[in-house]
Amino acid sequence: MKSIFVSFYGVFVVTAIITHIWTVIIAFTEGGFFGGILTLFLPFLGELYWMFKMFGENDTYAYIALAHLILAIPFSMFGRGER
């Protein structure tokens, strides 16, 4: 199981960065300048907040963000491999 997480760690990092950029764009458009800056510098809290806020409005984003937040747990434990 650990080898699967190590193999897909790079893909997860790239998709997590794309999801965070998407979150920052949503924050700037929906929450204004302050909300965008706050989300930019507090990625976990920002994505958690906007995920709940977007349920029912932008379900595609909400489910992708939810998947990334859930997958971040095993990837943070097993993803990087031995260094």
Q: Chunked in runs of 10, what are the mean pLDDT values of the chain (83 residues)?
A: 78 92 95 94 93 93 94 81 54
**What whole-number distance in Å separates Cα of residue 14 and Cα of residue 29?**
23
Q: Does residue 21 belong to any structural domain of this protein?
A: yes
What is residue 48's predicted lDDT score, i.e. its pLDDT? Answer: 94
What is residue 6's predicted lDDT score, i.e. its pLDDT? Answer: 79
Q: Does residue 82 belong to any structural domain of this protein?
A: no
**What whole-number distance in Å separates Cα of residue 33 and Cα of residue 66?**
24
Domains identified in the chain, total number: 1
Q: Does residue 53 belong to any structural domain of this protein?
A: yes
Other CB atoms within a 10 A radius of the CB of residue 80 amount to: 12
What is residue 22's predicted lDDT score, i.e. its pLDDT? Answer: 95
Q: Does residue 83 belong to any structural domain of this protein?
A: no
pTM above 0.75, yes or no: yes
Instruction: Report how far apart the first and last C-alpha atoms of the chain are (Å, whole number).
Output: 18
Tokens of 79: 């993803």
Give me the domain span that covers residue 13: 2-77
**What whole-number distance in Å separates Cα of residue 58 and Cα of residue 76?**
27
